Amino acid sequence: MAAGGRARAQRPNLDKMERMVVSMQDPDEGVKMRSQRLLITVIPHAVAGGDVVQWLTQKFRVSEDEALHLGALLVRHGYLYPLRDPRSLALRPDETPYRFQTPYFWASTVWPASELDYAIYLAKRSIQRRGALLDHEKGCAPRIWQEHYDQLQWKISHAWDLVVTQAREQLRAMKQRRRGDRLVITCQEQAYWLVNRPPPGVPNVLEQGPERGSCAASRLQTCKSLDFYKWEIEYARKALGRNRLKSSVCLEAYLKFSSQRGPHDPILSGCLPSNPWVTDDDTYWAVNAPTAATPTRLRVERWGFSFQELLEDPVGRAHFMDFLEKEFSAENLSFWEACEQLRYGGQAQVPALVDAVYQQFLAPGAARWVNIDSRTMERTLAGLCRPHRYVLDDAQLHIYMLMKKDSYPRFLKSDMYKGLLTEATVPVETKRRVFPFMRKPRHCSPSPALPTAGPGGGGED
């Protein structure tokens, strides 16, 4: 069954759960087993919910909360079932008795559960209800079973005689067994069906979402054709020729990056005046608005981290533009901006944008002529015959590097930048209000999708 096979491969967690329950049943290292008395019957090989949690806590060195959560997942997937109150698959961390599900009923063994089997199961329960019920079955919700029963009866009416015959046969065979075994088998079955046909309101743990791996590419993959190996060979050859950096160099870079950015990370270091999500006060956003008149100190500091950081901030970029104007090289930044517009703009605008850029920045005698080296200029001008969105990439990169290596370091050393740092604000911390009932109303903010009111409108307040 291909679909089932694929679904199986999708669930490595089932394998891991199964290995876990196997080790939990190890006679030496596993969970403490005990015999459980249920009224007049004694059921062997039962475990207490609390012992399961303890075992998981010790084995995986985790907190009790986490162990309880993990144990609960095992129960929800039907690998453990409660001996009492079997209608809900929950793990209670106390003396409540549980048993390990027989591998026959494991989620990975029999899937998907057939409608016919379910019908037989429901038929058995329906027949039994007219007879003497075992204690633990009384608590079951009969209405749900009845609903299912009716639906199924309608669905497979042609096979109904078979279903009823099978049900009667299974019940008769059960009567031959010892009381204790009957109880256990009933519990096992009940747990199995709770997993495979969850009652309304209970999430289906076996649900996977849309099927994966059904596309043509997957089928190609499994074939491992000539094309597949040719691709691998070509890729490996190219990769062998690539320059690689030593791990130590790369990893040191993370340390440096993280330590530099740590104080700017609100989750790590908090933020001033306060984190809006924690205090319901959105001053932090107002103070750090994209076009705020007086940027905060942290923000101005970030402009010094990298050229990219400076350009990405509209306020930073504006100040940099001012600086370039003083140095009579503002056309570089304008050219770069125009190239960005081309690269990320609509396809239909490409020819017009390319032409506009050429006229303004590249043509001989252009109003804002940019200084590119002759080779790049030649290549660019040649490419303009057939304009596409990447035709200015070389020129753009050249100008970008020029600004990054030359103008940007000068900007950081300039009086202008130093002045910005000193003038920058440092918001005062506001603590969370002490009286919870005096909750601050949460301010709405205008959606970016709202049309701006007019020439004067559209600013952040």
Q: In 128-285, where do the E strands start and end?
A: none
Task: State which residue, 75 or 122, has the beta carbon closest to another protein.
Answer: 75
8 A C-beta contact, residue 89 and residue 76? yes
Nearer Cβ to another protein (44/390)? 390
Look at the block and give the residue holding tokens 């901030």. 313
Residues facing 100 on adjacent strands = 80
Q: Sign of torsion, CA 37 43 44 49?
A: negative
Q: How far is the CB of 68 from another protein (least distance, A)?
A: 10
Kindly state the smallest distance separating residue 226's Cβ from another protein, in Å: 6
What is the spatial distance between Cα 294 and Cα 315, in angstroms, rounded to a whole number?
A: 9
Backbone φ/ψ region at 196: left (φ over 0), alpha (ψ -120 to 50), beta: alpha
**Buried/exposed 401-424: b ≥16 CB within 10 Å, e otherwise:** ebbeeebbeebbebeebeebeeee
Looking at the Cβ atoms of 22 and 39, the one nearer to another protein is 22
Least distance from another protein to the Cβ atom of residue 354, Å: 16
Q: Residue 133 or 268: which CB sits closer to another protein?
A: 268
Q: Which is nearer to another protein, 45 or 442 (CB)?
A: 442
Whichever of 133 and 229 has its CB closer to another protein, that residue is: 229
Query: Closest approach of Cβ 257 to another protein, in Å?
Result: 5
Contact 99, 45 (CB under 8 A): yes
Nearer to another protein, 278 or 318 (CB): 278
Least separation, in Å, of the C-beta of 443 and another protein?
8
User: Closest separation between CB of residue 265 and another protein, Å?
Assistant: 4
Which of 12, 30, 14 has its CA nearest to residue 22?
30
SS3 category, 10? coil
In degrees and rounded to multiples of 5, residue 48 shows phi and psi of -90, 140
Provide, rounded to whole angstroms, the least separation between the CB of residue 218 and another protein.
4
Residue 174 CA to residue 183 CA, distance in Å, equals 10
CA 279 centroid distance within chain: 26
* Residues linked to residue 296 through DSSP beta bridges, in sequence order: 425
Closest distance of CB 110 from another protein, Å: 21
User: Which residues share a beta bridge with 425?
Assistant: 296
Output 2 or 240, the one with its CB closest to another protein: 240
Q: Which is nearer to another protein, 39 or 268 (CB)?
A: 268
The nearest distance, CB 165 to another protein, in angstroms, is 39
- Residue 42: beta bridge partners? 37
| Minimum distance, C-beta of residue 382 to another protein, in the bound complex (Å) | 18
* Residue type present at position 342: L
Q: Closer CB to another protein, residue 434 or residue 444?
A: 444
User: Which of 252, 218, 311, 270 minimizes the C-alpha distance to 10?
Assistant: 218
Closest distance to another protein from the beta carbon of 422 (Å): 24
* Greatest pairwise CA separation for the chain in angstroms: 104
Nearer to another protein, 169 or 252 (CB): 252
What 3-state class would DSSP assign to 417? helix
Alpha helices in 197-225 (DSSP H): 216-223
- The CB-of-223 to another protein minimum distance in angstroms stands at 10
The tokens for 186 are 């009933």
Instruction: Please enumerate in sequence order all residues whose Cβ is within 8 A of that of 67, keeping only pairs 6 or more positions apart, or say none.
Output: 53, 54, 56, 57, 60
Question: Measured between alpha carbons, how far is 145 from 198 in angstroms, rounded to an integer?
Answer: 11
**Any bridge partners for residue 82, and if so which?**
98
The nearer residue to another protein, 428 or 444, going by C-beta atoms, is 444
What distance lies between CA 75 and its chain's CA centroid? 24
